[in-house]
Every structure is written in C-alpha cells, then in structure tokens.
Structure 1
C-alpha cells in the first residue's frame, strides 16, 4: 500500500502529516518519524478515520525493526483497512481501490510472523496476499509487491527468520 505518492482528490492535513513523517523516516530519521506518527495516532485515536489509521499503522510498522512491534501495527493496519469504505477512499484519491491495499497488508503480516518463527500464521497471510495479487496494478509497484510475496513465501518454506534485504523500513 502506498499513500505518499498519490495526488489527493481532497486536501487532507492528516494524510499530509503522515506523508511528511514517512518521508522523514525514509531519510534515516526513523526515531523522529515514529515519534511524529505516534503523536498523530494519539490525535486520531483507535476509533478515528479508518483511512488515517490504516495509512499511519502501515507506515509505522515499517519503521520498527522489531518484528513483534511491527506485527502490532500491521494488525492495526489490516483491521483499519477492513473498515475503510470505497467512498472514503475515493474522497482521498479517485484512483485508489481498497482491494489493492490487501496484498501489501497481508504480505507485511506474513513477513512479521515469519520473522517471529510463527510459520503457520505466516503461511496463512502469504496465501491471503497471493489471493489478492490480481488486485495489484501492472506497474513497478505491483511488480515489486508480487516479487516480495514470492520472496516471503520462499523464506517461509525454508523456515528462514532473517530480515529480507528488500523489506521496507530501517536497515538491520
């Protein structure tokens, strides 16, 4: 799921703040980015706008090197995605569809569980990610997710718990 490279249909200060924090994290300032996102999470709250919760939790998970911490945020992201309506998503950006979020969200959960050595749970989520890959665009982003799904699937089969070099977030 990507939320930082799209042009919003309607200005959304919260999504802009999430994007700014993500950009900060991508420049190597993971601690500061986590702090900004946690502050935003406090403002949004666990019952706030599901799109905001999904985007924030998805990106916050990527800023945690510890797979248990990432897992907690990835679960929140998937739960929030299940509450996002197509109408709300269209208000944010007319080109997005909620179905296209699920491959990435399930991939991240599979990777978290794999890194924690919970291979059965990892396999369930990688199967879910594979089931949603037809919803991905045929572009470099979609191709990179399809590749990552197969990389994680292979790592699950090998019972490998090491961090993928292609995983988003701070380097190990």
Structure 2
C-alpha cells in the first residue's frame, strides 16, 4: 500500500479483532491500538456482568477511538473496534473521515467456539446473541472490506491485506 490507511478491524466479539489487528498492523508497518483499551472501567464492568452496552455507553468510547484514528490520518494505523452499527461507523468517520473498515465475519458456531476457548477476556459468550442482533453489515457506500474468519490468523490477515490492496488509496 503506497499511503497507509487507518483501518478499523470490526466485527462481533470472538471474530479475532485482537488477534488479527496486530498481525495486520505488522504486515502494513503501522501502529496498532486495542479498541478495548479505550473503554472506561464502567463499560468493562457492565460487560463483565453480562449486560450489553447501550449507545450512551458507547459514544465516549467511539469518540476516543475516532480521535486516535484521526491523529493517524496520512500515517496509517490499525485499531480494533466492534463498530457493529452503521451509526457507530458514521461516528468514527466523522472523527476520522479516511478510515476504512475490515469487517471480520464468519459462522456463528465457529465464533462461539472461539469465544468459549479464550481466556482472560471480559466479554462472555452470553452476549454473542446481542452482538449478532446489533450487527449492521457494511453497506455499499462504506469504505471497507469483509473478510472471512475461517482458517489460521495468518490466512485471515493475508485475506485482509489482499482486500485492502484492492481499495482506492486515501487522498
């Protein structure tokens, strides 16, 4: 890629955002930021208790991620963020107009299995249904690509790089 994009790796919990994000950043030669690190403690406590966040919980989190992405404009970067609703992606684009999205998508059973086997994460599998119910896939007018999450992290990352290479370069 001639000019690095700022990439938001998005998708429901368990799709591999935290795994693929750093691998993608390394392949692109840009910094990575973990979207969960932008959550205030109150959001983490709420999700840990099995309670889905509402939009009022998410706006400050999205604004913080958008601020990071805007600061990386022209330099490139990768940040993970569920970005499940169009309105959330619109909020990120308002803060950082050049962002592109890599939507990690896959079979619900595969994602649930991966969630069940990960350790040390605050998001319980009980919230997966609410994640899928909230998900609004990328629309044709949104800059981004959909990448299947089956296979190894390296294979998924390779598909993401190939898909991003096909996008128009940022201005």
TM-score w.r.t. length of structure 1: 0.31
Q: Which has the higher contact order (CA 8 A, sep 6+)?
A: 2
Higher helix share: 1
TM-score w.r.t. length of structure 2: 0.31
Higher strand share: 2
